[in-house]
Chain A
């Protein structure tokens, strides 16, 4: 062994190894504590019932007191006329949140205000729009524009366990966002996004809101604006 071998490549590997060990130590000692505070995606929002189901309470706490003719707080759920998708709308104190979902790949969350005359124009991402009219507090009739298509729908008043549910969580680094519409009669239409990729959602237990995703039990909560 007369010659010295070139140490460069070995040093490179060694540096990588040291860096890896250093990062691992950092993760193991500080990781779990710091991460959830600094990264929004890491915050596990699957905590059950973070928002209590507001029945009569919100009108006292919401800053703009709804006028006496404002539409009453209620949930509505139904299908599109072509029977391809489901729509659910949740009204609270003059505000509305709606979810459109075909149970496979198309979905949209929409938000907006409800006017005193019962009409609403809700908007969502990518230009999605819902125009609807509340009829006697019993049903909402309207249209959803999504992905260049217009879907007419009728959503009837829904009483628990029918309604609109949502669960968000981070499971093994994958950001999960699930939305479910439980129709009057108990049928469910839902989509679960894994890191933004939609797929049919597993069914939830409408009584408790629990659902098993990738072996982990999450709790879907009723959605309110």
Chain B
């Protein structure tokens, strides 16, 4: 299988190459995702700051606390993010991988994202954007940033003829930020309260 550095941006199987006549202005391809990303991050932060934290939200049966639920969901998201990292290397041919690596990459990403969404909703609804200590401040900041960066990544996927380094860069950023978010929340929770459900 030939290695196409733009494989991740293409459908699977890849669609025919775009007609040469149709070329969009270069800036818009980056501007729109960047603006959407900024809007998402700022909107989340503003909501978290403005909404009076409820202090609580509904809990799932079988878990001792909403924090435990969140920690496990976040850990699930992080585990799938690791799959993302490995499968991305496969898609780009840096690691040997199966032919369904792009599908694996796509679906592990979706699962990771959908697992992270309820966590973020709880954070923003029940706790809000807080800055009372460094761990909390970084978590709040990066949490908002993550969903902005993820939106940008999704929108960039729809653009064609991107520089080859752009998607890996944004994808890597999303992964690093998610890792930092996990370290400042779920890992901290497990270390402080023990690995409980």
Q: Which residue in chain A gives the minimum CB-CB distance to B67?
A: A41
For chain A, which range describes its interface: under 10, 10 to 19, 20 to 34, or 35 or more residues?
Answer: 35 or more
CB contact between B106 and one of A8, A20, A23, A171 (< 8 Å): that residue: A8
In the complex, the number of residue pairs spanning A and B with C-beta atoms less than 8 Å apart equals 116
Q: How far is the CB of A59 from chain B (nearest CB, A)?
A: 35
Contact B154 A9 (CB under 8 A): yes
Contact B157 A16 (CB under 8 A): no
Q: How far is the CB of B189 from chain A (nearest CB, A)?
A: 8
Does A84 have its Cβ within 8 Å of any Cβ on chain B? no
Contact B53 A172 (CB under 8 A): yes
Contact B56 A6 (CB under 8 A): no
Give the segment of A32-40, A100-108, A128-136, A139-147 that binds chain B: A32-40
Q: How far is the CB of B123 from chain A (nearest CB, A)?
A: 9
Name the B residues within 8 Å of A41 (CB-CB): 64-67
Contact A31 B58 (CB under 8 A): yes
Contact A196 B53 (CB under 8 A): no
14 further A-B pairs in the complex, CB-CB below 8 A; given A31-B54, A194-B133 = A2-B22, A5-B158, A10-B158, A12-B109, A12-B154, A19-B117, A23-B117, A23-B121, A23-B122, A27-B121, A27-B125, A41-B67, A173-B55, A196-B192
> Could you tell me which B residues sit within 8 Å of A by CB distance?
10-11, 15, 18-19, 22, 53-59, 61, 63-67, 106, 109-110, 113-114, 117-118, 120-122, 125-128, 130, 132-133, 151, 153-155, 157-158, 192-193
